[in-house]
């Protein structure tokens, strides 16, 4: 891969070698259907040349608004094969979000998957006036009178594939690793999304480094990835699309969160790229399932967790080996079967993973790797891996080709080909983030004695109390959400005497509490009951026992509703938007200091 000049060249190398082997899979009409590498390559070439026939030129931007599906990958590769630049957009974007990206990127064409996703997109296109063409995958009949021309997807991926391949190969001779591949807009935890310029070499460096880890630690066989996170997110774009391409793997597309568990069992993936929040949900479900199986199953789970905890503390005991053997024959195979039975590793990224969650999955016999990075680094900087000594409170050593150093104030700085070229049309922010070749990540941390990165917190999220003490909110929030009573939490306390919290109770727990206490389940009404708040207070107190004096959550209030993408209080990658939550609940949080 080091000799490859572009992502499209990498794809064609694999497609030529794999031929009629299955590549992209999706569930259609009740069953899983696949497209071969050759079929995908033909459609990529046809789409590229048909985009050029519309008048698109090298460097023009083309926006994709689609859920994860085979056409997303084909569109992405086809845009790049045309010499254009992909602009992914989240399917959860509002009309305003779409207009911002259209205005900022100047995208000349948009590929959209359905009428539903076109509803907020079309008005944004009309107001922006940037896009001249719309290419619907399913439905979406639009006329030129709206200011843009509609082209059917089926026609755009049709043509003389052999002749179009020659044209694409000729064009690829002029595309190098330094050329921009895509503009990925950050999901905006702290304001308007910025367009990150990712070049071919950046993503190739990421894919190469990740493939090295896969080969060295697990071996590469017939790999299968289940794509679940939004492909418009840099983490899935690289880890869930171009890493599989790099190792010649199959990619299956999950149907959504509600069907993810069954999709895993059906497709039997070997690798999954997931965010911490999903692991927290899966952990809770597994614990509840085991609890229902009686005392024996609960005893086995407790012993498994104790063995991992002992090993983590360097207390591996000879007497644990017989129980470890029993666990391998009883509990762990059942858990692995729930994940398809072939899972080599689940890779967590996008936000910090609570070590307790990672240790849980290790105890259940599933290998958990934690990656670290950001969109500006294409996005993976480091990865916790067996060969480096799995330690769940680190994010592992930097990947090959990545240089890391710690600034005087503790900020993590990164240098290498993986670093972005800058922010699209934002030279001031580019100059602030890129200094002397170093990417200023905004994350605080240090390197341990084995060169593994330990993340403390986001520099901009760090709470500084009125005495000047620093508190990492993500650590506290992560510990709170591991309690069965608490689904979501955000803590605050900047320039204040102590930490306070905003809590979303766990709905399933609340239903059980209401039943046990003879109350009707109504979350809003329950939150008014002193006994209900006392029960949640007990969960907060359990966490406080594990925290330092300055980290303890002294007071808390309930949120009116869960933090969600729909109310703009979570990003599409399931991170909380602190500024949005603070704007909504600031008066309530301030009141906690007067109570």
C-alpha span between 372 and 314 (Å, rounded): 25
C-alpha span between 432 and 579 (Å, rounded): 21
Residue 470 pairs in a beta bridge with 464
Q: Do domains 8-22+37-176 and 250-458 have the same CATH topology?
A: yes
Return the pLDDT at 280: 82
- Is the dihedral angle over the CA atoms 227, 229, 231, 233 positive or is it negative? negative
Q: How do beta strands 438-447 and 434-435 pair?
A: antiparallel
Structure tokens, 313:
């503390």
C-alpha span between 443 and 463 (Å, rounded): 13
C-alpha span between 457 and 582 (Å, rounded): 18
CATH superfamily of 463-591: ANL, C-terminal domain (3.30.300.30)
The tens digit of pLDDT for each residue in 94-126 reads 898 899 999 999 999 999 999 999 999 999 999
Half-sphere exposure of 513 (CA within 13 A, CB side): 21
Half-sphere exposure of 121 (CA within 13 A, CB side): 27
> Which residues of the chain, if any, have pLDDT below 50?
189
* 444 contacts: CB under 8 Å, gap ≥ 6: 409, 410, 411, 412, 455, 456, 457, 458, 459, 462, 472
Tell me the CATH number for domain 250-458.
3.40.50.12780
C-alpha span between 128 and 146 (Å, rounded): 12
- pTM of the entire predicted model: 0.83
C-alpha span between 87 and 183 (Å, rounded): 5
Quickly list DSSP for 464-495. E-TTS-EE-HHHHHHHHTTSTTEEEEEEE-TT
Return the pLDDT at 189: 47
Q: CB of 557 within 8 A of CB of 585?
A: yes
C-alpha span between 532 and 536 (Å, rounded): 7
Return the pLDDT at 26: 97
What is the domain partition of the chain in residue ranges? 8-22+37-176, 250-458, 463-591
Residue 435 pairs in a beta bridge with 438
Tell me the CATH number for domain 8-22+37-176.
3.40.50.980
Structure tokens, 76:
């992405």
C-alpha span between 186 and 192 (Å, rounded): 8
CA-CA-CA-CA dihedral for 322, 328, 330, 331, to nearest 10:
110
CA proximity to 371, closest of 234, 242, 493, 498: 234
The tens digit of pLDDT for each residue in 22-69 reads 999 999 988 999 999 999 999 999 999 999 999 999 999 999 999 999
Q: CB of 191 within 8 A of CB of 206?
A: no
Q: What is the 3-state secondary structure (H, E, C) of 364-398?
A: CCCCEEEEEECHHHCCEEEECCHHHCCCCCCCCCE
Half-sphere exposure of 593 (CA within 13 A, CB side): 13
CA 83 to chain centre: 27
Structure tokens, 306:
């104790």
C-alpha span between 117 and 114 (Å, rounded): 5
Q: Please tell me whether residue 505 adopts helix, strand or coil conformation.
A: strand
């Amino acid at each position: 891969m080091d000799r490859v000049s572009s992502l499209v060249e990498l794809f064609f190398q694999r497609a030529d070698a794999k031929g009629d082997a299955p590549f992209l899979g999706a569930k259609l009409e009740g069953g899983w259907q696949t497209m071969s590498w050759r079929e995908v390559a033909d459609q990529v070439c046809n789409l590229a040349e048909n985009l050029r026939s519309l008048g698109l030129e090298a460097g023009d931007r083309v926006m994709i608004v689609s859920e994860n599906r085979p056409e997303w990958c084909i569109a992405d590769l086809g845009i790049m094969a045309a010499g254009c630049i992909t602009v992914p957009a989240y399917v959860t974007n509002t009309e305003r979000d779409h207009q911002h990206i259209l205005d900022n990127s100047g995208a000349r064409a948009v590929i959209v998957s359905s009428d539903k996703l076109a509803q907020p997109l079309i008005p944004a296109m009309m107001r922006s006036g940037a896009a001249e063409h719309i290419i619907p995958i399913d439905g979406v009949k639009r006329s030129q009178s709206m200011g843009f021309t509609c082209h059917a997807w089926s026609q755009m991926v049709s043509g003389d594939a052999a002749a179009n391949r020659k044209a694409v190969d000729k064009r690829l001779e002029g595309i190098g690793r330094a050329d921009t591949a895509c503009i990925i807009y950050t999901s905006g935890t702290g304001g308007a999304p910025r367009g990150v310029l990712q070049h071919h070499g950046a993503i190739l460096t990421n894919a190469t480094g990740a493939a090295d880890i896969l080969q060295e630690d697990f071996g590469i066989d017939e790999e299968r990835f289940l794509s679940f996170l939004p492909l418009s997110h840099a983490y899935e774009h690289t880890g869930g699309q171009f890493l599989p391409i790099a190792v010649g793997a199959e990619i299956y597309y999950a149907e959504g969160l509600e069907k993810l568990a069954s999709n895993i069992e059906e497709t039997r993936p070997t690798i999954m790229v997931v965010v911490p929040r999903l692991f927290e949900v899966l952990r809770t479900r597994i614990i509840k399932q085991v609890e229902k199986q009686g005392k024996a199953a609960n005893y086995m789970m407790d012993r498994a967790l104790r063995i991992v905890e002992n090993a983590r503390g360097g207390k591996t005991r000879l007497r644990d080996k017989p129980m470890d053997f029993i666990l391998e024959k009883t509990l762990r195979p059942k858990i692995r079967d729930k994940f398809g039975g072939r899972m080599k590793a689940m890779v967590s990224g996008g936000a910090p993973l609570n070590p307790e969650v990672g240790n849980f999955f290790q105890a259940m016999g599933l290998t958990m790797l934690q990656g670290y990075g950001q969109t500006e680094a294409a996005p993976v900087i480091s990865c916790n891996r067996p060969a480096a000594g799995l330690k769940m409170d680190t994010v592992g050593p930097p990947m090959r080709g990545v240089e890391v150093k710690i600034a005087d104030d503790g900020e993590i700085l990164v240098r290498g080909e993986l670093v972005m070229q800058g922010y699209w049309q934002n030279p001031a922010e580019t100059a602030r983030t890129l200094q002397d070749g170093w990417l200023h990540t905004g994350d605080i941390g240090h390197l341990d004695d084995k060169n593994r990165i330990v993340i403390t917190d986001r520099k901009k999220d760090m709470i500084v109390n009125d005495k000047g003490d620093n508190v990492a909110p993500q650590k506290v929030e992560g510990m709170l959400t591991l309690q069965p009573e608490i689904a979501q939490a955000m803590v605050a306390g900047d320039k204040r005497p102590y930490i306070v919290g905003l809590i979303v109770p766990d709905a399933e727990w609340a239903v059980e509490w209401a039943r046990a206490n003879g109350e009707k389940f109504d979350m809003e009404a329950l939150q008014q009951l002193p006994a209900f708040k006392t029960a949640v207070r007990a969960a907060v107190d359990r966490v406080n026992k594990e925290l330092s004096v300055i980290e303890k959550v002294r007071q808390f209030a309930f949120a009116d509703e869960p933090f969600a993408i729909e109310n703009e209080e979570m990003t599409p990658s399931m991170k909380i938007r602190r500024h949005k939550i603070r704007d909504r609940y600031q008066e309530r949080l301030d009141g906690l200091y007067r109570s």
